[in-house]
Amino acid sequence: MTTTLEPGGFVNRMPRYEILSDDAMATIERGWRRLISEVGIRFDHQGAQRLFREAGQRVDDEGVVRLDPDFVLEHIALAPASFELRARNPRRSVTIGGDHMVFTNVGGPPFVLEDGVRRDAVFDDLERFIKLAHVYDQIDSQGGHPCEPSDLPLDSRHLDTQFAALTLSDKPHMGALFTGAKARDGIEMAAIAFGGRAELDRGPVMYGIANVNSPLSYDSAMVDLLFAYAEANQAVVVTPFLLMGAMSPVTIPAALVQQTAEALAGVALVQLVRPGAPVVLGSFLSHIDMQSGSPGFGGPESGLGLLCSGQIARRLGLPWRAGGGGLTSSPRPDTQAAYEALITHQAAFLSGANLMLHAAGWLESGLVASFEKFVVDIELLRILRAEFTPFAIDEASLAFDAHLEVGHGGHFLGAAHTLTRFRDCFYRPMLSTTANYERWNRDGARDSSARADGLWREALERYAEPPMDDGIRAELDDYRVRRRAELGD
């Protein structure tokens, strides 16, 4: 069984799995309306407060904005239901929204696991993850920050990560994060790579993540980042980060209400900054272990949160970023890591996620980026893409002639129907093995982790850097050198 890669990313044409009744949806809507209007959302940013105040919303002296729910719905309706995210290589551009699913690299871990050793991530690791994302077709975006390069100065490392994202791959990339100033550096570098600010103004070539400081608060750095991307007409992924029991109440309905209220406030702000700017409704909902306080990923709460969040996003008519990825709390790419990642991957497919960050390589609750886990997640994505690709049911597929040829008690190995289809009739695993014990033993008795280790190393050997005009590369390099000096690094 084969699947074909379509322009614009994988298209999920399977029916959506909806678990919330109409009454439940109405209850959640009443909840977020009450929360956003009576309790409000705090914006620690004078520019945001000014925009909300000028739009007739109530803003108190602490920066808490109490929003009219109908005002919010009117403004999120200005956001596009889908948009194209353009790549340096136009053939790698993707669509975010509708039935399209876009998968990105792991992002942000401070540590890397390689050869069983957990250590601080360095810039070479970041480059290798970008190269792996470039090699594997299942990843649509290399991201911009697969891990935290501890060997580079903190104030200017975003210049190097953006240079790597723009030069080592020609897929769509994630811009610089954390502050508005860093986001603007990333925007300027993207303008160099894509032919000027006017080209960026025409439509998004990058995306940035504006995280909510849950509960019910946006800090100044995240709002400034939101302003930077919205002003430049680049995609903003507005994402509450909720671990039930810590950043939200312990019940899933309460967390869904809070998540919706927080995200919609941010989406409305994007539209106040620039009406029609591309924006993605984000979700990231899981729980903490009430005995240890550690975050839990890949459990039933994660799956249920994804199914519900997708249903809410569809009701609101916004592109949706799933809170997965191949998420797991496991510290090793073991059985737990695989089944927890499957829970979040599969729920995102069932609920029609448009953007899946951390689709490959996430480990240990996001603290670790793992090369072996990257390959495990690629295999999961390959399987799910095959599973979620509809197959034809017609006269030819019923194979009546094969029954006439084989008859009673025979076998189909040599039948004409089999011989014309055997090369691609079934899914062929990349990581899994179907070898019997004797053959598996002769081949080195390698388990899945050992096979994954070999596969990512082979993938790096296949990597070829995509072409870039020498003048553009030099201009990008000049920018990062100049800005690094200006930042004192």
The helix/strand/coil state of 5 is coil
Averaged over 367-393, what is the pLDDT? 96
- Per-residue pLDDT of 204-230, as tens digits, reads 999 999 999 999 999 999 999 999 999
> Which helix (H) or strand (E) is 52 found in, with range?
helix 46-54
* Confidence at 5, pLDDT banded by 50, 70, 90: very low
**Pairwise CA distance, residues 280 & 263, whole Å:** 9
Give the pLDDT of residue 8. 63
Domains of the chain: 10-19+76-387 (3.20.20.480)
Output the six-digit token pair for 423: 């090369």
Band (pLDDT 50/70/90 cuts) for residue 6 is low
Of the candidates 283, 262, 320, 258, the one whose C-alpha atom is nearest the C-alpha of residue 79 is 320
Q: Is the pLDDT of residue 7 over 90?
A: no
pTM above 0.85, yes or no: yes
- pLDDT confidence tier of residue 4, bands split at 50, 70 and 90: very low
Residue 383 CA: distances (Å) to CA of 332, 389, 455 = 22, 10, 17
Q: 290 to each of 246, 395, 448, how far by Cα in Å?
A: 10, 55, 32
CA distance 426 to 267: 43
Tokens of 125: 């690791």
User: Which residues touch 55 (CB under 8 Å, ≥6 apart)?
Assistant: 71, 272
Query: Taking all residues of the chain, what is their mean pLDDT, rounded to a whole number?
Result: 96
pLDDT at 2: 44
Proportion of the chain above pLDDT 70, given as a percent: 98
pLDDT score, position 129? 98
CB 397 within 8 A of CB 390: no
**Residue 489: band (very low, low, confident or very high) from pLDDT cuts 50, 70, 90:** confident
pLDDT of residue 407 exceeding 50, the answer is: yes
**454-473: average pLDDT:** 98
Residue 418 banded pLDDT, cuts 50, 70, 90: very high
pLDDT over 70 at 245, yes or no: yes
CA distance 34 to 25: 14
Give the Cβ contact number of residue 386 at 10 Å: 15
Three-class SS of residue 389? Answer: coil
Q: Which residues pair with 360 in a beta bridge?
A: 105
